[in-house]
Each structure stands twice: as structure tokens, then as C-alpha cells.
Amino acid sequence: MSSSSAVIVRQAVILAGGQGSRLKPYTDTVPKVMIEISGRCIIDHQLDWLAEAGVTDVVVSAGHLSEVLIDHLSSRELPVRVRTVVEDQPLGRGGGLKYAGKQLPAPDEGWYALNGDIWTRFDLRGMTAYHRERQAVATIGLARPRMPWGVVELDELGRVTDFVESPPSPYPINGGVYAFSPRILDLLPDVGDHERTTFPSLAKERLLAGYPIEGYWRAIDTAKDLAEAAKELEALRSSLGD
């Protein structure tokens, strides 16, 4: 495998236009990406992570309470150059990706994209190396979130041998983090969802790869997710001696 340290993608898109209805009342006054985890907005965590991977330019696709997000981004010193775009009308996730992707500074280079409600830490450069080795047009970061229930383990005779609390799901899911080759822009829908159009077409052509996320991953969908993410961040800081 080629060295991930030599693989640097310098541009990214963050989809930050969601309503965040399941996070009300938090999202009554701020967009979902501005909800705080341990005193910092989700998007601030994301921008730091992208900068650590070598990204220098980010296009943020805003929607719900876009003016609040624009004020936030313009009021602080950022680790990357950020441009915010606002859709005149809802374009869907795939259309939003295409619209924002067209604003990237280097259209002939690859880029990352991530959903604005994902808080994660893993080797993005390793994902890019994986993506390029497979000559994929798109690579999906695959997460295995912990199940909300405990599970029961059985032996071959059907006898209970153990109880496991909230194990990782045995099935990988779309983790909302992508590595794209430049030609993805021509394949994304102008309006609609890339997961229903572009991705199935790429899969049939064997041009869609899946990269197992080895590291921290959590989607911030509910107040419980916020509380759990804050606890996990504190535990991580403690383990690093911060």
C-alpha cells in the first residue's frame, strides 16, 4: 500500500443545510452544525480535523439559519479558508454536493465531503490512498455504530453464554464521509439524492469503494448523541493526558 502520508487532498465540502428537527429546541436558534460538544461547535471540530489532514479550502453548503452560521464562521480565526454557499432552493443532498463542489478552487483535483452532523476522527489520508488504489470515482467511509441494545450470545446448542452491552453493528453503514475523484461532479444529480442515483450507478460499474473507518465516529442526531459525544470526548482527552 502506498504511504498515506504522501496522499494529501486539499479541498472539501461540508453539507450544513439540514433542519436538525430531532435536535429541537437546540436547532431553533442555531443550525445543527453549530450545536456544541464540550464547548465547541460540531463544525469547528470538523474544520480542525480536515486541516490536520492537509485540507486548505472548504466550501460549506448552508441552509437552515444560514446567516447564523455565516456570522459564526466569519467571527473566528479558522484553520482553513472557508467559503459559504447557500442554495436558492432545496437541491437535495446530491444536488447540494454538486452545487457546493462546483465552488471548490481546484475542479481538476479530488475532494472530501462530509455531512455536517458527523463527529469523527480517523485517517483521512489513509482513506484517500485506499480510494486511489481502487481507482474509484467515490469512496464511502463505512462506520459500524454501536447498537442501542444489548445482545445475547448463544452456543451451538442454543444455550446463552454471554450478554454484550451495545456492541458495534455487524453491518457497516454509510458514515457520511466521502473521498471523491474530480469526475464525480459530472455524475452527481442537479437535484436529488446521490445515494439513490449516483452511488447505485457507480456500484454497478465497480467504481464505488467502501473504506472501513478505524477510529472514532458518531452521528449527532439526538440530544442523547450530544451527551454521549461529550462524555466520549472527555474520556479521550483524559486518556491523552489533556
Q: What is the pLDDT of residue 240?
A: 54
- Asked whether the predicted pLDDT for residue 121 surpasses 60, the reply is yes
CATH dotted code for 11-143+171-240: 3.90.550.10
89-118 pLDDT, tens digit each: 888 889 999 999 999 999 999 999 999 999
For the chain, the average pLDDT equals 89
Specify the 3-state DSSP secondary structure of 99.
helix
- Asked whether the predicted pLDDT for residue 149 surpasses 60, the reply is yes
Q: What is the pLDDT of residue 3?
A: 45
The residues spanned by each domain of the chain are 11-143+171-240
Q: What is the pTM of this model?
A: 0.88
| Long-range contacts of the stretch 220-229 (C-beta < 8 A, 24+) | 220/23, 220/32, 220/35, 220/37, 220/42, 220/117, 220/118, 220/119, 221/22, 221/23, 221/117, 222/22, 222/23, 223/23, 223/26, 226/23, 226/26, 226/35, 226/37, 229/37, 229/119
